[in-house]
Amino acid sequence: MIFPEWNALTIVLYSGLALMALSSAPMEYWGPLQMQYSKFRAASGMPSRPGMVILYAVPLVVLTVLASPYLATPTEVQAVVFGAVFLHFAKRVLESLFLHRYSGPMTITTVIMVTSLYSLLTGVIGYLNRQPMPAMDGIAWVGVLLFIAGEIGNFLHHRRLAQMRQSTMEYVIPRGLLFDYAICPHYFCELVAWFGILLMARHFALLLLFLFMVGYLTTRAVKTLRWYRQEFPNFPADVKVLVPFVF
């Protein structure tokens, strides 16, 4: 794990990241971090498709700008870490444009909040990747495998959701793949991919940001399962929240 040189500034910055990690779950459940899109969309706002494209495209720009000093001649680690993060957000932009089926608007506030959070994430990675691990080792290559598996799993479940809504804009009970065992396996796959990036980069700041995402996505999955059980009385009782067969 790569730690910063501790001084007054880094202590303040990393304390802020730690506070974000600890507060992500309660803020999404009760507080101002509740994101109003998808099933929890607002009654009015901007169309979801351009909103989602914005919140994934802007972090790509931030990542590239902050990584620009080393992109011409990156080390192997720098290239792998940058490439993984870039591919993740490029995939999400393309999915937002061509795959997902949106049924309602999202608030401007939500677009700004998510864009800011993702831009913070990519900005931190792009900047800290200027001082990478010395070389790709076994742990880093395990991270690469986890990233690939997570991204493929995430895409397959996104595609499955889109296929189930081809003939309707209404929500239906997700079926097939890991949806038979957990309500948000796409979130789980995304966390697997980000854990893979963490193993590649191994910066302490990225660990804190990963914990933030765990808290946020887990809480959103809990709310999603609750929503399905309220909307569909016949919803299967044995479906888990996030991790198939476990939680």
Q: List pLDDT tens digits, range 6-40.
A: 999 999 999 999 999 999 999 888 766 566 555 66
Task: Give yes or no for residue 230 having a pLDDT over 60.
Answer: yes
Question: If you average pLDDT over residues 51-70, what whole number do you get?
Answer: 97
Length of the chain equals 247
Q: What is the pLDDT of residue 23?
A: 92
Rounded CA-CA distance 113/94 in Å is 21
User: Average pLDDT of the chain?
Assistant: 92
Q: Identify the band that residue 71 occupies on the pLDDT scale cut at 50, 70 and 90.
A: very high
Q: What pLDDT, on the 0 to 100 scale, is given for residue 182?
A: 97
pLDDT (0 to 100) of residue 29? 82
Pair 86, 122: CB distance under 8 Å: no
For the stretch 185-203, pLDDT in tens is: 999 999 999 999 999 999 9
**Averaged pLDDT, 59-81:** 98
- pLDDT per position as a tens digit, 79-125: 999 999 999 999 999 999 999 888 778 888 889 989 999 999 999 99
Residue 46's identity, in one-letter code, is M
Q: What is the pLDDT of residue 107?
A: 86
Question: What per-residue confidence (pLDDT) applies to 32?
Answer: 60
Residue 59's pLDDT band (boundaries 50, 70, 90)? very high
Q: How many angstroms separate the Cα of 123 from the Cα of each of 58, 86, 88, 239?
A: 11, 12, 14, 36
- Residue 161 in contact with residue 186, Cβ under 8 Å? yes
